[in-house]
A = this chain, B = another copy of it.
């Protein structure tokens, strides 16, 4: 990936002097960002632009450039790619639109390009994108013109949409915050977000990474990379709802995703998810601060009202506000003018007008061992008093440069003054105490809780071969329940005692073995909603009742499952499915009336270990019922966790299991077991 950003020569393909030619903006950007390599222009009409000759074709270039940035009509792209390949150009950015995002009929073009990339051993970003910018070398090829407004920063930006990527550059620049590297990745035909995130994690210039996505190309790889990232990754993933999916297909050829899976996967691998652009900017600002290592915060405020808000927010986000030491308070009190202020934490500087003292206060407080971060809130109008306030803020900047803990600065002033100081200082400025404290909470949370990677060691007692042999030979559709049970048993998943029969006589023999009372269920795999179809008889307490039940069930087919009646217990469901973006996932929730009452479930990308299963359960309000509320017995949480882990491994080990439902799983004071099971195969051998 490095060559995309550090190419020492670049050809812009598709430049002409015709009105509305967008290739010219690509050239403009290279000049605006002071590209330090060689620029070549290519355009069928030849000529020159901004001092550069326009070569009629790639074949005419005097040297094989390291990168070609291409904006020509979609139909011409394969030909241009081939010319690049023949010319030995190994990296290309295709900005043209008109590919898979328009529907299936354009897939042929994409296929042709992929073949060429393979033939010539090339890598490509795009198509349908605005390409890359590297502030380190000035390489900048978007066909959308940018100004190099803010100085280079340490945030890198990846965006599936060029427009949204540009918005992020502009939003940061609006606060005079810069970026390090930028890539708009469009249809992600050959290079996707995981490739670039992996590169940026080891890029020296990058300290945190923003990604805007409408679809996810290789979710598991992205998770693996993110889980080990020492740099914070902030993702804005859109294309959530049904209305959204309509346009997303046409925009970036993404399929709508199950948004809850994205949420679960991001949380699991430590990606911070922003729900809107302004939140993403706030999150990125949070990671421009040093790590906050504890909960203890000091708030010093020039404005009483904002101090109240800050105290509210500190409470809400779980911070502590230790009292200021007495000697500090006395010093401050001595400088107070009308003595109309009382000092606490938050400290309201109120009528303390000696701004020189503020810097010392901030510095001494930040240095204290019992403080993990300082929030300094300054409030001034900048009309008569701009000078001393600017000096104060520059002073705070000096402290920040040497600090290893966050000193967060929140400023209230007029817009012209805010614009001025944002150019004056190099640290992020917040404009709301709650935003500042939320940023500290993100910062602290991310550093405190590193994600667990996907599990690598399956639990003991899994007989994978036996499961495989039971899955073998079944094509798409419902697996017969006796086979499902055998597969589950091979994975050590506890089931109610059961047996299978195909005649009345077999059923009676099984009953004798299992003992009454019994449940008799149809085992015809084509009957999916057994209860609705009259396929379940419960409380069978003797042979006569069994005979009669079997006779009635025969209407659905001869195959039946017999099960012991289970003791009452708390009902859960545990299941999973294969997700098109993230692969196998496991889902857990409460059953019975709690399904409707709590309407909650939690999921994880599989496989998971016991610790991750515990964190999954901890997300569910209903898990409190396992503790034995109001005199009920405490139930076997551990058994439910183990079952969940085993289910996650089963879905992971056999991707042909499209869906699995254990519902209900009854949990007892000791142990748990599944009372019903259903498995949908995706086709192909298991």
Instruction: List residues of A whose CB falls within 8 A of some B CB.
Output: 20, 25, 28, 73-74, 97-98, 101-103, 144-147, 149, 159-164, 166-167, 170-171, 173-174, 212, 214, 238-244, 246-248, 250-252, 275-278, 302-309, 311-312, 314-316, 321, 338-342, 344, 346, 348, 350-351, 353, 379, 381, 383-384, 412-415, 418, 431-432, 434-435, 592-593, 596-599, 621-622, 624-625, 629-630, 632
Q: A164-B303, A170-B413 are in contact. Are A632 and B312 (CB under 8 A)?
A: no
Interface centre among A170, A278, A315 (most CB of B within 10 A): A170
The answer to whether B596 touches A348 (Cβ under 8 A) is no
The answer to whether B625 touches A174 (Cβ under 8 A) is no
- Chain B residues, Cβ within 8 Å of A20: 353
Cβ contacts A to B, 13 pairs, < 8 Å? A97-B340, A144-B381, A145-B381, A146-B381, A167-B306, A170-B415, A174-B418, A238-B309, A241-B314, A244-B311, A246-B344, A247-B346, A251-B348
Q: A74-B340, A414-B173 are in contact. Are A163 and B98 (CB under 8 A)?
A: no
The answer to whether A161 touches B251 (Cβ under 8 A) is no
Q: A20-B353, A238-B308, A338-B97 are in contact. Are A250 and B344 (CB under 8 A)?
A: yes
Task: Tell me the complex Cα distance, A239–B340, Å.
Answer: 20
Task: Tell me the complex Cα distance, A25–B144, Å.
Answer: 47
Interface centre among A98, A309, A383 (most CB of B within 10 A): A309
Q: A340-B97, A340-B102 are in contact. Are A243 and B315 (CB under 8 A)?
A: yes
- Chain B residues, Cβ within 8 Å of A597: 598, 621-622, 624-625, 629
The answer to whether A632 touches B315 (Cβ under 8 A) is no
Q: Within the oligomer, what is the number of copies of this chain?
A: 2
Nearest residue (CB) in B for A170 is B414
CB distance from A623 to the nearest CB of B (A): 10
The answer to whether A276 touches B146 (Cβ under 8 A) is no
Task: Tell me the complex Cα distance, A276–B308, Å.
Answer: 12
A160 touches which of B73, B248, B251, B305 (Cβ 8 Å): B305
The answer to whether A166 touches B307 (Cβ under 8 A) is no
The answer to whether B243 touches A321 (Cβ under 8 A) is yes
The answer to whether B306 touches A340 (Cβ under 8 A) is no
Q: A212-B305, A306-B163 are in contact. Are A340 and B98 (CB under 8 A)?
A: yes
A238 touches which of B28, B305, B414 (Cβ 8 Å): B305
The answer to whether A250 touches B593 (Cβ under 8 A) is no
CB distance from A681 to the nearest CB of B (A): 30
The answer to whether A379 touches B166 (Cβ under 8 A) is yes
Nearest residue (CB) in B for A282 is B278
- Chain B residues, Cβ within 8 Å of A246: 311, 344
The answer to whether B238 touches A593 (Cβ under 8 A) is no
- Chain B residues, Cβ within 8 Å of A159: 305
Nearest residue (CB) in B for A341 is B250
The answer to whether A275 touches B434 (Cβ under 8 A) is yes
CB distance from A176 to the nearest CB of B (A): 9
CB distance from A446 to the nearest CB of B (A): 21
Task: Tell me the complex Cα distance, A243–B314, Å.
Answer: 8
A247 touches which of B147, B311, B379 (Cβ 8 Å): B311
- Chain B residues, Cβ within 8 Å of A340: 74, 97-98, 101-102
A251 touches which of B244, B305, B622 (Cβ 8 Å): B305
CB distance from A363 to the nearest CB of B (A): 22
Task: Tell me the complex Cα distance, A443–B300, Å.
Answer: 37
Task: Tell me the complex Cα distance, A397–B194, Å.
Answer: 43
CB distance from A315 to the nearest CB of B (A): 3
Q: A164-B306, A381-B144 are in contact. Are A415 and B174 (CB under 8 A)?
A: yes
Task: Tell me the complex Cα distance, A167–B102, Å.
Answer: 47
The answer to whether A98 touches B315 (Cβ under 8 A) is no
Q: Closest 8 CB pairs between A and B?
A: A161-B305, A241-B315, A163-B303, A251-B304, A164-B305, A174-B415, A244-B311, A145-B383
Nearest residue (CB) in B for A590 is B597
The answer to whether B276 touches A435 (Cβ under 8 A) is yes
CB distance from A96 to the nearest CB of B (A): 8
The answer to whether A163 touches B315 (Cβ under 8 A) is no
The answer to whether A214 touches B632 (Cβ under 8 A) is no
The answer to whether A338 touches B98 (Cβ under 8 A) is yes
Task: Tell me the complex Cα distance, A240–B414, Å.
Answer: 27
Task: Tell me the complex Cα distance, A243–B433, Å.
Answer: 14
Task: Tell me the complex Cα distance, A164–B309, Å.
Answer: 10
CB distance from A327 to the nearest CB of B (A): 20
Q: A166-B412, A242-B315 are in contact. Are A630 and B73 (CB under 8 A)?
A: no
- Chain B residues, Cβ within 8 Å of A435: 276, 278
Q: A161-B308, A163-B305, A307-B251 are in contact. Are A277 and B432 (CB under 8 A)?
A: yes
- Chain B residues, Cβ within 8 Å of A342: 102-103, 250
Nearest residue (CB) in B for A631 is B593
- Chain B residues, Cβ within 8 Å of A629: 593, 596-597
CB distance from A632 to the nearest CB of B (A): 7
CB distance from A289 to the nearest CB of B (A): 19
- Chain B residues, Cβ within 8 Å of A350: 97
- Chain B residues, Cβ within 8 Å of A599: 621
Nearest residue (CB) in B for A623 is B597
- Chain B residues, Cβ within 8 Å of A353: 20
Task: Tell me the complex Cα distance, A381–B167, Å.
Answer: 9
Interface centre among A379, A593, A597 (most CB of B within 10 A): A597
- Chain B residues, Cβ within 8 Å of A171: 431
CB distance from A532 to the nearest CB of B (A): 14
Task: Tell me the complex Cα distance, A633–B576, Å.
Answer: 33
Interface centre among A73, A173, A341, A384 (most CB of B within 10 A): A341
- Chain B residues, Cβ within 8 Å of A214: 305, 308
A348 touches which of B239, B247, B593 (Cβ 8 Å): B247
- Chain B residues, Cβ within 8 Å of A161: 303-306, 308
Contacts beyond the supplied A97-B351, A276-B309: 7 A-B pairs with Cβ under 8 Å: A163-B379, A174-B418, A240-B316, A241-B311, A247-B346, A250-B304, A250-B342
